Structure 1
């Protein structure tokens, strides 16, 4: 097929998934039409319109900016089928009923464009059967596309072909889903529940059975199967509540109806758990109905007790001895759990053993390679490692023997032995399914490399599984300079080796004095030898801000004078980044808070992953932004006012002041742009693994366009009259009990800086003048006992202190 360009998408079905898929298309700026059934009355699109309105209320928000729900066009099947001809991709996401889907396909098929792809979002219905009634000319452009819920946040999308699906159609769709939607694609075979749900739901059922066997409550199980086990923090039962117990039951029914003892040796374990059925009977469907395995009663969390048929207090924690076991290296960890005498340890070994057993038995039937299984479990179920990765890390043959011994002894969930390839041949000889040349495909008997499409060339450090080959960004390329705080380096790839990369190495990429020194050196090196500088640290967060722990000893020894010199140096380097002779680009991913936000806004350009959370949050520790953040707010207000027809500076300043005073954090890159920490000229990248590529290309493009840094100029401030107006609103908030007296003091100092201090409105100032006001306010606050109480509270507990 010719180049696949998606100018418009139609989503059929305005239910939970359809509406949220439409929302994510808006996030990535793809025009979308959301269809649903016509409703009686004047507005036949009322069902779709109501679903769009409901998007604004959902938490977590499916939209990067809530009011952009209105960018979705509502439609109905009676009046608007003609719009389908204008769409390049049609995603069907109606209820999981084969007959309903077939009826809809018959209705829409005549209206589809001749090049359009039709994809069905199903969690497990056979794609080949869904395709049966389609016209012959449409079948090559039909496939399955399985988004995970919630679509904005879950990285996995499974693509499922039929025997008729053209290879170029699937490749084109994978390119769109990857770069435009920012998702990670796994190609699944057309088997019940595909890859992630097949492995994941079998694992959840195993967990529920073993929890019952060992007499463990939901809260204990969730404590054991959450972060401690390297899985989603919500654990097992809380995850089920989030997904929806009706959805879980539907996926289980798919396994019950489409599998059999002949096709799945674990079939007998697929019975709907009694506790799940009891909750379904009561209409308790999880988070959507505010009751499931858990429910909230005021501030208390309760769990359902099947024996009592009612909710009882929750919050129990696992025995810490198992928490310590789970921190051990993989081989030692599994042996300790297998030999554990307590029920919690026996439970953990049982669910891990069952997971290894199930994945090995079904690898050949559900996926092309072991990589697909492990990545599907990472991206679809929030695991830090898939089952094969953990197995291999712990010692392939040793773990295989332990699992087979349990099978032989009747301790496993089924008696089917592990496949022969586990013990004999290349996998056993090489010590696992993942090798530098690729991952095991039992159907071909080879280790196969990952699929490489043009879109993957943008992923310079593509996410890989344990044991697989590939470069590591921490050591790859040519190092220009490195110490404990920062690495300055370049890629060894023609066409991308002319831009210097600065990667911060400190914990959470906190900005210590050594990092500041490293960034200063980075500008020197970039100006002398390179065409640009990109600040990119490989993983999240971008930076959580200044390293308070690194500066407190200096404060204790030398007092405010030490802090003043540290702040002055940070400010100087921020301005160096802004006025560097080469383009400086901040590649932002994850949190960019406090000094991290200040670092980003002082670069010449920002390239941000969609899920970037930016904000000046210093008030939480009793401080104000002290590395140029308030100076940035004042300067941007003046620039925006100059570009406007208005003459009053204060309206342009208010938004930035509120953001800093209230420690507002953008909940997406889109919202960070709305707040002002990203500009319209900045680039938002949907896929996190494409961030470095786009940042490097952005720096190169700026250089090729003859980049020159901005000229330093004076700009007006709001002055004492603007400050008085802001203080008036702060007094009302303090007297109304919305902020504490100390919050008022901090906010007043922020107002003092952003309005330029004790000067007339319209006074022209420069950045250095405002930065001096920042330092004075910062140093005055750090000497205050209440600020020190907030700092120590955050460092000790990780939670802000209100005083």
Structure 2
């Protein structure tokens, strides 16, 4: 095996996509140079410099740490083409015009190094045509690499090789994109708009068509086609507004221009309503109006009939919302198919249109059905891909319903379903996904998953329905399981504990599970990893302590009854900190409150880039009581190393007092929730592998827990200094009286309380202070208001 190491990337084009791809390379510590045209006035690299400034303002943030914008090297095509020679990967991301791309290629081709991969981030132009004019050598190193917007957050990248692309080029690129940039890679064929945009944009056009047919307004359609359907919560029209209606129109036009003989060609006509909006400059979110328009606080919707904006907010009919809640996909699809309600008929119609389309086009757009499902899941935010939905809903039954609609002229075109749908291997197996692989219409066989070495790092790869793949919920050997946790291993030397509670909240069951797992790990394993089976699918690490489970104890016995619960939580976290084998927290998603404290007490953290970590207790009128403030005091003392501790303490205090949550693992390092030697993983499917590697390495290097030591604190001086600032904030009306109380309590604890500056205190001293303050607050009416408010509305109460 030869290592393919990308030492430097060049991105050509500093538009929205180019700049964000460059930003994500920087997130992943890959040096990057960003090119654009020389500016006509001002500094020559002005266009790129403006684009980099803009990266700091975009939301969601393209950079995990805004300060890293300075690490992007700036360049222009006139002065800096010599920089290309040092780049291993060059990604072109300029506007979607074949002639412009060709002009640029002529300029850059002579400067590209002999082993560099050259790729275009086009969203739909022919890669084969783009490569025209290259010599054979460069052609063999050229392909399409299509990122989805926003590139940091969207999991999908499509690789589009041409007939000339050397296979190892695609393989090397797939390895880099998967591990270094954390992406889910799908290989697409070189057809217009590739896989995700081809199927996704057809789906949007079909929805517009069927919505008009069944007389449904845009807000109702969005409620029906959003989270209720297991898709992006913005639904269809809201998503189009966010993407930009001009961009939408552009992708549709690619289909019109390049697919004139497609059986669905009539559907590719730009919808009249879209054309009108674009014509009058209503391009969606960026122009302030599209299918929706914000008027003051109100979101109004476009009325198709009049072209005016009217009050929005209409929702799905109750009967349809109930059908969509049905857990059994067979029953759900039958209910939609048989429904007499226009909304039900609309939903059946859009499923039918999608199934019809993917069946007819499977042989031309993708190698196999799995690639279409992953493209839609990772590129359009669907929970379940279209082929998976069809298969789970009873393959042949649904196929016959689709056929009936085609024969009756109810479908969007009269092309029949291909024969493979009804006969041969697919009919025999009841669908396209099987244990041996997913169906390929070209080879009429089931194609297994890619066996590239990079996938050895994913113990549980993204599954497809019907493939029978084991997942992290059931795999391996279970040592112990109840309704709160599963303690298990994969037949190797690392024990894993996975929480099963909702949002992985920490209650009595989880505490008992942690104690049991730690005892088992110390006896029989090299380490313990805290990892949850939905880590790669957007699950939380832990949303914190399970307040609801502690409420009955509080109602019956008041704070006295809660005291031992908090003491037990503290004791368990301390036992993890001083465990005799390494304890690794594999953090992904939310790690809030007690979840953050759990991670802080592990021997080491392995965190997904998308980790949102913070002590948020003040939101419910409480203070952290699982050792989070003790850790802030200890970390500040360690950092100060004899200097003024207060300067270092301010960060920990402010984070807790303002319930500040990191927007990435990179920011969590800056905030002190992750240590400098904690590991950041870009692909959430690799989290468990890396965590186990870390645990073994620490054990094999002779792991010993740190020895407990006293903590130097700032005492009355630190407490008083912070309190003086809080008084100003309260008197200036910036914080409420209760916020002031919480802030003062946090200041008292992180300063070590009523002791002299420079005193040394034990960890237990600080834990006792945390617990006492927490219990005092539980009795406070303002805190009780906040807790009840949060439980009823899910939003913090400001009182």
TM-score category (smaller protein): over 0.9
Q: Is the Cα contact below 8 Å between 1:143 and 1:160 reproduced in 2?
A: yes
- After superposition, residues 95-494 of structure 1 pair within 5 angstroms as 95-260=95-260, 262=261, 264-328=262-326, 329-492=328-491
Q: Is the Cα contact below 8 Å between 1:438 and 1:469 reproduced in 2?
A: no
In the alignment, what sits opposite 2:765? Answer: 769
- After superposition, residues 535-550 of structure 1 pair within 5 angstroms as 535-539=530-534, 540-550=539-549
Q: Select 1:533's aligned residue among 521, 528, 537.
A: 528
CA distance in 1, matches of 2:242, 2:375: 19
In the alignment, what sits opposite 2:725? Answer: 729
In the alignment, what sits opposite 1:718? Answer: 714
Deviation at 1:2, TM superposition (A): 4.6
In the alignment, what sits opposite 1:782? Answer: 778
Per-residue CA deviation, residues 7-47 of structure 1 (Å, 9 max, x unaligned), is 00000000011011011111111110000001134521110
CA distance in 2, matches of 1:67, 1:243: 27
CA distance in 2, matches of 1:356, 1:237: 21
Deviation at 1:53, TM superposition (A): 0.6
CA distance in 1, matches of 2:543, 2:16: 34
Question: Counterpart of 1:67 in 2: which secondary structure?
Answer: helix
Per-residue CA deviation, residues 175-197 of structure 1 (Å, 9 max, x unaligned), is 00000000000000000111011
In the alignment, what sits opposite 1:652? Answer: 648
Q: Is the Cα contact below 8 Å between 1:640 and 1:652 reproduced in 2?
A: yes
Deviation at 1:298, TM superposition (A): 2.4
Does the alignment pair 1:514 with 2:513?
A: no
Per-residue CA deviation, residues 319-372 of structure 1 (Å, 9 max, x unaligned), is 121110011121111121122222111111111110111111101110011000
Question: Counterpart of 2:140 in 1: which secondary structure?
Answer: helix
Deviation at 1:536, TM superposition (A): 0.4
Q: Is the Cα contact below 8 Å between 2:594 and 2:626 reproduced in 1?
A: yes
Q: Is the Cα contact below 8 Å between 2:231 and 2:382 reproduced in 1?
A: yes
Deviates more, 1:167-176 or 1:467-476: 467-476
CA distance in 1, matches of 2:133, 2:68: 37
TM-score, normalised by the number of residues in structure 2: 0.98
Deviates more, 1:689-698 or 1:68-77: 68-77
Deviation at 1:729, TM superposition (A): 1.3
Deviation at 1:679, TM superposition (A): 0.9
Per-residue CA deviation, residues 368-396 of structure 1 (Å, 9 max, x unaligned), is 11000011100000001111111111100
CA distance in 2, matches of 1:137, 1:426: 41
CA distance in 2, matches of 1:621, 1:581: 35
Q: Is the Cα contact below 8 Å between 2:220 and 2:314 reproduced in 1?
A: yes
In the alignment, what sits opposite 2:49? Answer: 49
Q: Is the Cα contact below 8 Å between 1:615 and 1:666 reproduced in 2?
A: yes
Q: Is the Cα contact below 8 Å between 1:499 and 1:699 reproduced in 2?
A: yes
CA distance in 2, matches of 1:49, 1:719: 46
Q: Is the Cα contact below 8 Å between 1:437 and 1:469 reproduced in 2?
A: no
In the alignment, what sits opposite 2:566? Answer: 567
CA distance in 1, matches of 2:316, 2:476: 44
Question: Counterpart of 1:99 in 2: which secondary structure?
Answer: helix
Question: Counterpart of 2:634 in 1: which secondary structure?
Answer: helix
Deviation at 1:399, TM superposition (A): 0.5
CA distance in 2, matches of 1:150, 1:7: 24
Deviates more, 1:183-192 or 1:2-11: 2-11
Question: Counterpart of 1:684 in 2: which secondary structure?
Answer: strand
CA distance in 2, matches of 1:35, 1:664: 35
CA distance in 1, matches of 2:460, 2:784: 41
Deviation at 1:69, TM superposition (A): 1.2
Deviation at 1:248, TM superposition (A): 0.8
- After superposition, residues 2-151 of structure 1 pair within 5 angstroms as 2-41=2-41, 43-151=43-151
Deviation at 1:313, TM superposition (A): 2.0
Question: Counterpart of 1:546 in 2: which secondary structure?
Answer: coil
CA distance in 1, matches of 2:299, 2:573: 46
Per-residue CA deviation, residues 630-676 of structure 1 (Å, 9 max, x unaligned), is 1111111101101xxx6211110001111001100001111111111
Q: Is the Cα contact below 8 Å between 2:712 and 2:760 reproduced in 1?
A: yes
In the alignment, what sits opposite 1:578? Answer: 577
Deviation at 1:409, TM superposition (A): 0.6
Q: Is the Cα contact below 8 Å between 2:494 and 2:696 reproduced in 1?
A: yes
Q: Is the Cα contact below 8 Å between 1:124 and 1:194 reproduced in 2?
A: yes
CA distance in 1, matches of 2:304, 2:391: 38
TM-score, normalised by the number of residues in structure 1: 0.98
Question: Counterpart of 2:349 in 1: which secondary structure?
Answer: helix
Deviation at 1:67, TM superposition (A): 2.2
Q: Select 1:523's aligned residue among 515, 518, 526.
A: 518
CA distance in 2, matches of 1:715, 1:628: 13
CA distance in 1, matches of 2:305, 2:74: 47
Q: Is the Cα contact below 8 Å between 2:237 and 2:291 reproduced in 1?
A: yes
CA distance in 2, matches of 1:147, 1:686: 15
CA distance in 2, matches of 1:579, 1:289: 56
Q: Is the Cα contact below 8 Å between 1:661 and 1:747 reproduced in 2?
A: yes
Deviation at 1:3, TM superposition (A): 2.7
CA distance in 2, matches of 1:563, 1:353: 55
Does the alignment pair 1:502 with 2:500?
A: no
Q: Is the Cα contact below 8 Å between 2:471 and 2:533 reproduced in 1?
A: no
Does the alignment pair 1:692 with 2:691?
A: no
Question: Counterpart of 1:3 in 2: which secondary structure?
Answer: coil
CA distance in 2, matches of 1:700, 1:766: 31
Q: Is the Cα contact below 8 Å between 1:717 and 1:763 reproduced in 2?
A: yes
CA distance in 1, matches of 2:367, 2:62: 32
CA distance in 1, matches of 2:331, 2:715: 65
Question: Counterpart of 2:409 in 1: which secondary structure?
Answer: coil
In the alignment, what sits opposite 2:594? Answer: 595
CA distance in 2, matches of 1:291, 1:79: 40
CA distance in 1, matches of 2:303, 2:47: 37
- Structure 1: stretches of 5+ with no match in the other structure: none
CA distance in 1, matches of 2:138, 2:38: 25
Deviation at 1:76, TM superposition (A): 0.1
Deviation at 1:728, TM superposition (A): 1.3
CA distance in 1, matches of 2:119, 2:232: 29
Deviates more, 1:375-384 or 1:306-315: 306-315
Q: Select 2:662's aligned residue among 660, 666, 681.
A: 666
Deviation at 1:760, TM superposition (A): 1.1
